[in-house]
Amino acid sequence: MAEPIRIMGICGSYGLDSANGHMIDLVKSECNKLGAEVVIWDNKRNPLPFVGEDGCWDHPNVKLFKDMANSVDSFILSSPEYHGTMSGVMKNSIDWLSFDQTSGKIFGLISTLGGQPNSTTLNHMRTSVRWMHGWAIPEQLVMANIKSTFNEEGEIIDNALNERLVKFAESLCSNSIKLRR
């Protein structure tokens, strides 16, 4: 039997105890139901240095990050929108990836917003994915007005958004299988 698909979640918020960390968890649960494994980079536990800062190239967390990225078939990028684009944490994480880890692999994109929905952050991440020679799936999740998105149990209140999340996970997994190296 084929090995399960392995997916890496990269969170654009510093801690996983954030809306973006929670979104990755929700997608992880759906992907697990489909038989995929999901590993999540924890930037608070293993902070990545800024690309270019002194000593960064030999930093042990960079090796851990690249090892995790090398081990997966695909990625989830989930970023808060900051001033109309992805966060610095997300861009710095992306900048630590190179073709070795990303070329020909599938990416699923999520953005959360404090305000009204738009797809600017998603489009910016999509551009970065293209530059990494990855394939971003057309399904994407925009989580606007994030403070009123979840109920006390952490579930998404809007059923239509829940359905989009399920379809997002299905596409991520099925396309990862199609493009598996």
Ligand X SMILES: Cc1cc2nc3c(=O)[nH]c(=O)nc-3n(C[C@H](O)[C@H](O)[C@H](O)COP(=O)(O)O)c2cc1C
List of residues contacting ligand X (CB under 6 A): 13, 18-20, 80-84, 112-115, 146
Residue 149 Cβ vs ligand X, minimum distance, rounded to whole Å: 9
Residue 86 Cβ vs ligand X, minimum distance, rounded to whole Å: 10
Residue 68 Cβ vs ligand X, minimum distance, rounded to whole Å: 20
The two structure tokens encoding residue 114:
């404090």
| Non-local CB neighbours of 59 within 8 Å, separated by 6+ positions | 48, 49
Q: Is 108 exposed, middle or buried (0-12, 13-18, 19+ CB in 10 A)?
A: buried
The two structure tokens encoding residue 84:
């109309």
Residue 116 or 159 with smaller CB distance to ligand X = 116
Cα 17 to its chain centre, rounded Å, is 15
Give kind and range of the element (H or E) at residue 91: helix 88-95
Residue 4 or 123 with smaller CB distance to ligand X = 123
Residue 83 or 181 with smaller CB distance to ligand X = 83
Residue 80 or 105 with smaller CB distance to ligand X = 80
Residue 162 Cβ vs ligand X, minimum distance, rounded to whole Å: 18
> What does each C-alpha distance from 138 to 32, 56, 108, 154 come to in angstroms?
21, 34, 8, 26
